[in-house]
Structure 1
Amino acid sequence: MENIRGSAWMVLAMLGFAVEDMFVKLAADGVPVGQILMLFGLGGMVGFLLLTWRRGERALVPQAMNKTLAMRAVFEISGRLFFILSLALSTLSSTSAILQATPLAVTLGAAVFMGERVGWQRWIAILIGFIGVLLVIKPTPEAFQLTSILAVLGMLGFAGRDLATRAAPPALSNMQLGVYGFAVLVPTGGVYAAATSGFVWPDAFSWFAISGATVIGIGAYYALTVAMRTGEVSVVTPFRYSRLLFALGFGFAIFGETPDLMMLLGSSIIVLSGIYILVNGRRALVPSKPAAL
């Protein structure tokens, strides 16, 4: 029963993130990307501040002043900026498909930079997964779109953020990290907007889209936290790939996107490789026979 509850929370979280992405893409039709980043960061910072205070925690603590958190901020900024740019300039379907390669990049980064052991099976799975990414972005002169690189850069930024989060001081809660992650987006978005397209006053629908992305995004983060604390991680975690199914549905229903066979094949390869890595990694943590007393 706990596994069912945890899986349901994970699917709910992924639905929320897909809706958040949809709202961001809709807002990008009338609001500059930098301004979206700034407003989204401001709303998220306020939301996580309230959640932090509700838990009786302080937003600013001495442990937050270190190089790991500074590096995490850089990856957060690059991941969010390039991801929103990709949503604005490319399709929701392809951007979401490439994002699913984040666990592959995290596993690769953990092996290269953090010294974690990765067996040959998972190395093969990583390689196959990135072949799936190539199928999605179609790196041929006839089919390649430069905007696909934005999604890849966003995915790498999120992977770096996740690795830095793993190295962050244990004393910092998820809510506190959420405050810091969103806070750095406010000045970044403002500077990017000022240096590029400037600022506009959003119309009613744009305000609705940005507000919806912020509120639903915070709710999705909460659902993700509950999911990861309910049931077995090896059972619950693979359901995070349901985000791609929701994205494909929203892309078709809202934006009229029709993924071609190559993108569907690449997406399937990415998802299957990621699930294999997750399941294989969890099995590696379970001893094959009871340990001696």
Structure 2
Amino acid sequence: MSNLRAIGLMLFSMATFAIGDALIKVASADLAVGQMVLIIASMGLVFFVALALRAGQPLYAPGFWAPPVILRNLVEACTAICMVSAISATTLSLTISIVQAVPLLVTLGAALFLGEHVGPRRWVAVAVGLLGVMIMLRPSSEGIALGALWAVGAAIGLAVRDIASRLAPPDVTNLQLAIWGTASLIPSSALFMAFTEAAPLAPGPLAITFVAAAATALGYYAITAAMRTGEVSAVAPFRYTRLLFALVLAMLFLGERPDAATLIGAAVVIASGLFVLLRERALAQTAA
């Protein structure tokens, strides 16, 4: 029963993330990237601080100065800029498709930097998944589109963030990590705004961005609850439903029509990621 509840929470989380992404895409027509990140970060920070106060958790802990936490905060700041820039510069469907490579990049990073054992089957799956990313990027003599590169940057940043989270001190809670990571977005977005052109703050785009921020915060809360409620091996595969929700929203409300390269590449990435997850689950059961 706990797994079913956790899967429901994960589906809700992925749906709200996709809604937030779609709203950011809409608002990007009228607001600059730095402005949107600043609004989302400010609202998210208020939300997470309120949750921490309600739970009686301190906002500060000595673990804040641990190198993995500092790395996580720095990467979080860059990743948000990359993600919103990608959504603004290219199609939502392509951005979210590329970001589906994060679990593969985490496996790669865990093997290279954490010394985790990765067998030949998972190495092949990671390589095939990265090939799927290359299919979506469509490199040519003219290079790769900037929006797609922003999406790659976001995927790498999310993977590094997840690896750094594994290395964070055990006494640091998920909520504290969320507060510190969100707080890091405020100075980074302000710095980004200093080097880019700001847009007039019209009520409509502002309202859309506020709703996007609320959806993103709800998604984060739901995914945290999902991972704590059910077995990771049962819940994690449903992360990929974010792409399904994003594709539906992109086609119905944004007028996007994903091309063959995006769909084929996304299918390769998801198939590879699911194989890695299932293989890890099988190995864990064997070890037990």
* Counterpart residue number, 2:228: 229
1:234-253 correspondence to structure 2 within 5 Å:
234-253=233-252
Task: Measure, in 2, the Cα distance between the counterparts of 1:187 and 1:144.
Answer: 29
1:286 aligned partner, one-letter code: Q
* Counterpart residue number, 1:129: 129
Calculate the TM-score normalised by the size of structure 1. 0.94
Asked if the contact 2:86–2:147 (Cα under 8 Å) also holds between the matched residues in 1, the reply is yes
Cα deviation per residue 1:180-239 (whole Å; 9 max; x = unaligned)?
1110110111111122113x4422221211111111111111111221123332121101
State the Cα distance separating 1:142 from its structure 2 match. 6.9
Task: Measure, in 2, the Cα distance between the counterparts of 1:166 and 1:193.
Answer: 31
**RMSD, aligned CA:** 1.5
Q: Does 1:265 align with 2:255?
A: no
Residue 213 of structure 2 aligns to a residue whose secondary structure is helix
Task: Measure, in 1, the Cα distance between the counterparts of 2:144 and 2:192.
Answer: 26
Unaligned runs of at least 5 residues, structure 2: none
1:166-245 correspondence to structure 2 within 5 Å:
166-198=166-198, 200-245=199-244
Task: Measure, in 1, the Cα distance between the counterparts of 2:181 and 2:230.
Answer: 27
State the Cα distance separating 1:143 from its structure 2 match. 8.8
Unaligned runs of at least 5 residues, structure 1: none
Cα deviation per residue 1:80-131 (whole Å; 9 max; x = unaligned)?
1111100001000000000000000011000000100101110000000001
Asked if the contact 2:87–2:147 (Cα under 8 Å) also holds between the matched residues in 1, the reply is no
Larger mean CA deviation between 141-150 and 171-180 belongs to 141-150
Higher helix content, 1 or 2: 2
* Counterpart residue number, 1:145: 145
Task: Measure, in 2, the Cα distance between the counterparts of 1:144 and 1:85.
Answer: 15
Task: Measure, in 1, the Cα distance between the counterparts of 2:143 and 2:65.
Answer: 45
State the Cα distance separating 1:61 from its structure 2 match. 1.5
Task: Measure, in 1, the Cα distance between the counterparts of 2:73 and 2:235.
Answer: 28
Task: Measure, in 1, the Cα distance between the counterparts of 2:89 and 2:223.
Answer: 28
Task: Measure, in 1, the Cα distance between the counterparts of 2:24 and 2:141.
Answer: 30
Task: Measure, in 1, the Cα distance between the counterparts of 2:239 and 2:8.
Answer: 10
Task: Measure, in 1, the Cα distance between the counterparts of 2:230 and 2:190.
Answer: 41
Identity of aligned residues (%): 36
Matched length: 288
Cα deviation per residue 1:248-285 (whole Å; 9 max; x = unaligned)?
11111121110111211110111111111111112211
Calculate the TM-score normalised by the size of structure 2. 0.96
Residue 190 of structure 2 aligns to a residue whose secondary structure is helix
State the Cα distance separating 1:62 from its structure 2 match. 1.4
Task: Measure, in 2, the Cα distance between the counterparts of 1:2 and 1:165.
Answer: 24
Structure 1 residues 249 and 190: alpha-carbon distance in aligned structure 2, compared to 1, 3 A threshold: same
* Counterpart residue number, 1:20: 20
1:90-101 correspondence to structure 2 within 5 Å:
90-101=90-101
Q: Does 1:52 align with 2:49?
A: no
